[in-house]
């Protein structure tokens, strides 16, 4: 199973299931995250400028989601990474960690994982 959670929830997820896998999709993650089941996954993080544009109200949530999703579409590295994470989810609980203050990032990530899991092209 794949779930998207906030960084603040990661510790509880690891304590609950020490065999879980955590993929951190934040551009500049905290340096203290050094666990064997935690992987930095910055290719899935939104670009810094995109986040700033959204936070400052220069773009809407729909525009953020559209631009963020398009950034994955033609990136073979991201698609391979997502497929790998999906394959890992068959044997482990997977937690995708994102910034808690950008809810639309979660929506795009879960939609992407669902689409690829179901064989839908991005």
pLDDT digits (tens, 9 = 90+) for 29-42: 766 666 677 888 88
**Which pLDDT does position 84 carry in this prediction?**
92
**Which pLDDT does position 101 carry in this prediction?**
63
**Which pLDDT does position 73 carry in this prediction?**
80
pLDDT digits (tens, 9 = 90+) for 62-86: 898 889 888 888 788 888 998 899 9
> DSSP secondary structure string, 31-87?
TT---TTEEE-GGGSPPHHHHHHHHTTSS-HHHHHHHHHHHHHT-HHHHHHHHHHHH
- Whole-model pTM: value is 0.76
Question: For all residues of the chain together, what is the average pLDDT?
Answer: 83
């Amino acid at each position: 199973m794949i779930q998207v959670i906030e960084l603040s929830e990661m510790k509880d997820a690891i304590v609950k299931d020490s065999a879980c896998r955590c993929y951190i999709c934040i551009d500049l993650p905290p340096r203290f995250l050094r666990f064997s089941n935690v992987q930095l996954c910055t290719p899935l993080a939104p670009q810094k400028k995109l986040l700033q544009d959204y936070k400052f109200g220069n773009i809407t949530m729909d525009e953020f989601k559209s631009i963020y999703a398009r950034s994955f579409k033609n990136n073979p590295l991201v698609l391979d990474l997502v497929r790998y994470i999906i394959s890992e989810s068959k044997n482990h609980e997977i937690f995708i960690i994102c910034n808690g203050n950008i809810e639309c990032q979660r929506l795009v990530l879960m939609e992407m994982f669902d689409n690829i899991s179901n064989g839908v092209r991005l």
